[in-house]
Amino acid sequence: MRAEKTIDVTALGELLVDFTQNGESAQGNPLFEANPGGAPCNVLSMLSRLGHKTAFIGKVGDDMFGQMLEKRAAEQGINMSGLEKDTQVHTTLAFVHKLPDGNRDFSFYRKPGADVCLTAEEVDRHKELIQKARIFHFGTLSMTDESVDRATREALTIAKDNGALITFDPNYRPPLWGSEEEARQKMTFGMEMCDVMKISDNEVAFLTGEGMRPDGSLDMAGIDDGIAALQSRFDIPVVFATLGPDGSKAYTKNSRVYVPGFKNPATIETTGAGDTFCACAIHYILEYGINGLTEGVLKELLTFANAAASLITTRKGALAVMPTKEEIAEYLKKC
């Protein structure tokens, strides 16, 4: 008998510290701010702000950063009872460098990092958090190493056996993969398993060769072709494509909806924008269900998610500074 669904979303994956540059010292050295982060927990934080019950399964080091992450995530309303602590391996760290074109470059301290040491046995220890979830969310960064890959597969088995909807974010970070082929294989697995996928324009190009022109500009028709190919191959009912400042698109079996982005002059960095968008999309799925995503609902969803993502770009970090529903509504009134 399946467990009663008392959790809206349970996510598994990385919880880490995003060090973002915050000026220079008097000696001219870069100063970095330690922001709590990690895509799955960012998603849960935004969902908690939107009134949903959330839970996390993952691993941090039994160190000062791990303690900080557990405290800050719990403060967002996330159930952190599924957080394991490693006494031998330190918490994963990521240094985020903003490039001149506005994109980001990442330097990860993760070989090993505690998040990749999560085991299938530890997931099984917390399986009730998955059994009770309406939605199970994951990304590819919990599949970069053997132990956490097995843990992710165990979690997906539990989620499928208990009727959870599966949401997936490829979240491609090149430095964390041994090869592009390995990354594609794990993304393929994710697409085979999911009911809903959030994917960025550069990930569409990486997987299909479509969507980006040789000069690096966006090819909207190519994005459509790439998504069509992925949906046809993997039979994914709902796909959301984020297009950076150009907005986003939603694809179902019956609809294709586009909403332009909000170009915010107060933007300082884009860390967490995709996670914020993803959470808003999941929020609407929780409210309407997959079969209730009409064109009108999808347009409202994309507008809301674009606005939330635009707001998070005006703040340093993501997990602890997600916008509220009221802030998003006020922002939309001004746009």
**Residue 96 pLDDT:** 80
- How confident is the model at residue 105, as a pLDDT? 73
Looking at the structure of the chain, the number of domains it has is 1
What pLDDT, on a 0 to 100 scale, did the predictor assign at position 101? 57
Specify the pLDDT at position 251.
98
Q: What is the pLDDT along the chain (335 residues), one digit of tens a residue?
A: 678 999 999 999 999 999 988 889 999 998 999 999 999 999 999 999 999 999 999 999 999 999 999 999 999 999 999 999 999 999 999 998 766 655 667 789 998 999 999 999 999 999 999 999 999 999 999 999 999 999 999 999 999 999 999 999 999 999 999 999 999 999 999 999 999 999 999 999 999 999 999 998 999 999 999 999 999 999 999 999 999 999 999 999 989 999 999 988 888 888 899 999 999 999 999 999 999 999 999 999 999 999 999 999 999 889 999 999 999 999 999 88
Place of tokens 């008998």: 1
Encode pLDDT of 237-287 as tens digits: 999 999 999 999 999 998 999 999 998 888 888 889 999 999 999 999 999
3-state secondary structure of 316: coil
- Cα separation of 36 and 19, whole Å? 9
Q: What is the CATH number of the domain that holds 186?
A: 3.40.1190.20
In a domain, 112, yes or no: no
Residue reference for tokens 């998610």: 305
Whether residue 94 lies inside any domain: the answer is no
- Is residue 50 in a domain? yes
- Is 63 inside any structural domain? yes
Inside any domain, residue 95: no
Q: Which helix (H) or strand (E) holds 148?
A: helix 146-161
pLDDT of residue 140: 97
Closest CA to 269 of 218, 219, 311: 311
223 and 210 in contact (C-beta within 8 Å)?
yes
Question: What pLDDT, on the 0 to 100 scale, is given for residue 242?
Answer: 98
The confidence score (pLDDT) of residue 264 equals 87
Query: To 5 degrees, how large is the angle CA 303–CA 294–CA 140?
Result: 65
Asked whether 275 and 283 are in contact (CB, 8 A), the reply is no
In this structure, is residue 99 part of a structural domain? Answer: no
From the number of C-beta atoms within 10 Å of its C-beta (0-12, 13-18, 19+), residue 246 rates as middle
Looking at residue 70, what is its pLDDT? 98
What domain range includes position 277? Answer: 7-13+39-88+118-334
How confident is the model at residue 65, as a pLDDT?
98
Eight-state DSSP code of residue 116: G
Q: Is residue 107 part of a domain?
A: no
Residue 34 lies in a domain: no
